Amino acid sequence: MKKFYVTTPIYYINAAPHIGHAYTTVAADVLARFYRHRGTAVHFLTGTDEHGLKIEQAAKEAGKSPQEFADAVSEKFRQLWKHLDITFDDYIRTTEPRHEDKVQEIFAALIKSGDIYKGHYSGYYCVSDETFWTEKEAPPDHKTGKRLCPNPDCHRELSLVEEDNWFFKLSKYQERLLAHYKADPDFLSPKHRGNEILSRVKEGLQDISVSRAKVKWGVPVPNDPEHTVYVWFDALLNYVSAASGCDDIWPADVHIVGKEIYWFHAAIWPAMLMAAGLPLPLKVFAHGWWTVEGQKMSKSKGNFVDPYEITREFGVDAFRFFLLREMPFGNDGDFSIKTLKIRYNADLANDLGNLVSRVENLIDANMKGALPARSNPEKDFYPKQVASRTAEYAACMERLDFSGALGVIWSVVGQLNERVNSEAPWKLFKSKDPADHEKAKTLLFDVVWCLRIIGGWIEPFMPRKMAEMQARLGVRQYPDALSAEDVLQGKEKGIGKIQKGPPLFPRKT
């Protein structure tokens, strides 16, 4: 059985990981957990991109060899993923022999087939973006005369490159790419970002340089050791090299990437795969970018948000939740502690956390923690109605609409709060009429069951808190949460009793 294969970009190791890297990796983890929860076998790949001029220079500045430098920073990424409960199945580093060998194998095969050929390159190069630019794409600045990187988020000065190097026949694949985009409209997602790619490919494609003559820190070109493979050609192949030797992984089901590297993944990468005769990934999804308090994160501004700082204050689960709740996946958004706090207090401390505390306290005070049986187990069985929204939730998750999925969940949380407020079980328990007590018990029974189900839906986003919530609601022993389906099918592994505890999400002031 083919596994569901999800990937993140492999991150450059010139600097420590920040919230932007965490965003993509958390999203991929949420998707991986969602599929695993459903019983699908998953292969989740992340890793680090370690070659190229940018790394060579960063290592030099740090007074280390590129490999020493790569070892240290790659480890920082790994540690952060551990801290954020990222459940990757494989972690690839482009300096590993399994990857370098594959790059050389494919490069040699494409030389043989004529898709890679020797030529002369004259143009401009952005070291920070590791991107080639033509004279036309990067005209001289009218004031300074300098050529700057056309990427609006970069704008660094370009260096002139004049060298004989190897080219990939990207131009040959224009028609096939267009035909593929047409035949499979979901391949490029979301639509608005796909459309940008489509019009750029329609404009025509030029062959691209795929080796560097003067860069030492890279994979040597087979039989031409003066050249190293262009770092993007090398890096993109990680998705295949990590899957090689296993027949249940490739093609990827989804590559999740940031919008700034969509061109590489949506045009160059599929053309490379076509040239290599390999199947294409099923979907390439480009999400948007976070700014921080209205500003782009940058070295000069020194405003990189450190995930450790945020999780120290808000916890890992709330951080994971916020990233995917706050901005629709695919759009851009702004990060600030203020919005995080507002979201935390509203959604987590109030809506969900208070609801859990209320039912726990009521059951503890009035029923000594035992959840009574419903007097009529079938009549208006509210948890079934709630569970019927699983399909809606799952459809959002399948199309990577994480904020949509959380929207479905929080609309149910809202309904539960309304029911509790309007039926006021604390009053019903004080009534002398036994029917009122029955009504209160039925309400609590329903809310507990709904929360157990919701815990299954939220698990991919907040695995620790949901395991804790389900354990306290008597349905599960720490450490894993149950899926909504498991809850409804009565796969109880917990002690059945409701155990009240401290607030799940203590309010932040």
Q: How far is the CB of 289 from ligand MSP (least distance, A)?
A: 4
Closest CA to 127 of 161, 177, 97: 161
Nearer to ligand MSP, 242 or 443 (CB): 242
Which residue reads 């009429």 in tokens?
433
SS3 track for 448-484: HHHHHHHHHHHCCCCHHHHHHHHHHCCCCCCCCCCCH
Say if strands 208-209 and 159-168 run parallel, antiparallel, or are unpaired.
antiparallel
CB nearest ligand MSP: which residue? 20
Residue 24 in the binding site for ligand MSP (CB under 6 A): yes
Q: Please give the DSSP secondary-structure letter assigned to residue 202.
A: H
Q: Considering only residues 45-84, where is the footprint of ligand MSP by CB under 6 A?
A: 49
CA distances from 490 to 77, 84, 475, 493, 496 (A): 39, 30, 9, 9, 11
Q: Which is it for the CA torsion 484, 488, 489, 495, positive or negative?
A: positive
Q: Whole-angstrom Cα distance, residue 161 to residue 139?
A: 15
| Distance separating alpha carbons of residues 56 and 43, to the nearest angstrom | 31
Q: How does DSSP assign 393-460, residue by residue?
A: HHHHHHTT-HHHHHHHHHHHHHHHHHHHHHH-HHHHHH-S-HHHHHHHHHHHHHHHHHHHHHHHHHTT
Only one of the segments 138-146, 220-228, 240-248, 289-297 lies at the binding site for ligand MSP (rule: CB under 6 A); that segment is 289-297
Spatial contact of 363 and 498, defined as CB atoms under 8 Å apart? yes
Task: Identify the sign of the CA torsion 100, 102, 107, 111.
Answer: positive
Q: Which of 289, 308, 381, 410 binds ligand MSP (CB under 6 A)?
A: 289
Q: Which of these segments, 116-124, 193-201, 230-238, 272-280, binds ligand MSP (CB under 6 A)?
A: 230-238
Q: Does 455 bind ligand MSP (CB under 6 A)?
A: no
Residues 73, 77, 82, CA angle at the centre, nearest 5°?
140
Q: Which of 5, 290, 314, 382 contacts ligand MSP by CB under 6 A? A: 290
Per-residue contact track with ligand MSP, 293 to 322, x per CB under 6 A? ----x-------------------------
Out of 21, 37, 193, 472, the only residue in the binding site for ligand MSP (CB under 6 A) is: 21
Q: How far is the CB of 402 from ligand MSP (least distance, A)?
A: 14
Choosing from 53, 92, 210, 236, the residue that interacts with ligand MSP (CB under 6 A) is: 236
Contact between 11 and ligand MSP by CB under 6 A: the answer reads: yes
- Please state the closest distance from residue 11 (CB atom) to ligand MSP, in A: 4
For residues 329 and 316, give the distance between their C-alpha atoms in angstroms, rounded to a whole number: 20
Cα 413 to Cα 389: distance, rounded to the nearest angstrom: 12
Q: Is 335 helix (H, G, I), strand (E, B) or coil?
A: strand
Name residues contacting ligand MSP, limited to 172-191 (CB under 6 A): none
| Contact present, 298 and 285 (Cβ < 8 Å) | no
By CB under 6 A, is residue 12 in contact with ligand MSP?
yes
Please choose, out of 8-16, 28-36, 313-321, 414-422, the segment that lies near ligand MSP by the rule CB under 6 A: 8-16
Query: From residue 248 to residue 277, what is the string marking binding to ligand MSP with x (rule CB under 6 A)?
Result: ---------xx-xx----------------
Least distance CB 290 / ligand MSP (angstroms): 4
Q: Which is nearer to ligand MSP, 47 or 455 (CB)?
A: 47
Token pair of 113 as six digits: 């087939």
286 - beta bridge partners?
257
Residue 102 makes contact with ligand MSP by CB under 6 A: no
3-state secondary structure of 212: strand
| CB-nearer residue toward ligand MSP: 24 or 74 | 24
Per-residue x/- track, 365-404, ligand MSP (CB under 6 A): ----------------------------------------
- Give the total of residues touching ligand MSP (CB under 6 A): 19
10 interacts with ligand MSP by CB under 6 A: yes
The one segment of 131-139, 231-239, 398-406, 494-502 that binds ligand MSP by CB under 6 A = 231-239
Q: Which is nearer to ligand MSP, 294 or 502 (CB)?
A: 294
Instruction: Render the burial of 250-271: b for 16+ CB within 10 Å, e for the rest.
Output: bbbbbbbbbbbbbbbbbbbbbb
Contact region with ligand MSP (CB under 6 A), list: 7-15, 199-207, 219-227, 347-355 = 7-15
Q: How far is the CB of 151 from ligand MSP (least distance, A)?
A: 11
From the list 9-17, 160-168, 242-250, 455-463, the region that binds ligand MSP by CB under 6 A is 9-17
- Window contacting ligand MSP (CB under 6 A); options: 15-23, 172-180, 185-193, 401-409: 15-23
3-state secondary structure of 194: helix
Residue numbers at the binding site for ligand MSP (CB under 6 A) = 9-12, 20-21, 23-24, 49, 235-236, 238, 257-258, 260-261, 289-290, 297
